[in-house]
Amino acid sequence: MFFFQGDMNGRHNYPGKPMLNPIIGMLFGIGIIMSLKNWKKFSHQLFLLYFALGILPPLLTYPWENPNALRAVTVLPAVAFFVGQGLLLLSKIPIKKQYVMFGLCIIVTLSAIYEVRTYFVFQSLVFPASFEIHQNLLQPYLQGNYIFDPEKL
């Protein structure tokens, strides 16, 4: 949901696109590692606990009911905290602060360009067909099989 493969629901996101783009995902991973390393600080404990509790609703909700970002709205504050921790670690690189800030601005800008490109180029191709109901997807439900199994399609 966060890094590898997102939901196939094309109504709110590009099908199969993870919730976090590669750049933000990398910062999120670095932030999680830093929070686990700095476990004794209250803020890290708080956001790790918040993330652990907040991830439960997305994991217990079917992906075809809500796309990944709408299901995971409960973890967004923790995700922002961990991304911020990743940015803080990058800002501690022992070179001139001006270069570090310039590099961080480039990272955030590249991330924004990646998201805008996905939304306006790829999402616009998928969106017109995203509200169509296909008979082969509904067939298991019409036959009384309420467990989603893509292998049977």
Q: Which pTM was predicted?
A: 0.66
Following DSSP, what letter does each residue of 22-62 receive, concatenated?
HHHHHHHHHHHHHHHHTTTSHHHHHHHHHHHHHTHHHHHS-
CA atoms within 13 Å, Cβ hemisphere of 137: 8
Provide the pLDDT confidence category of residue 24 given band limits of 50, 70 and 90. Answer: confident
Query: What letter represents residue 73's amino acid?
Result: V
| Averaged confidence pLDDT in the chain | 75
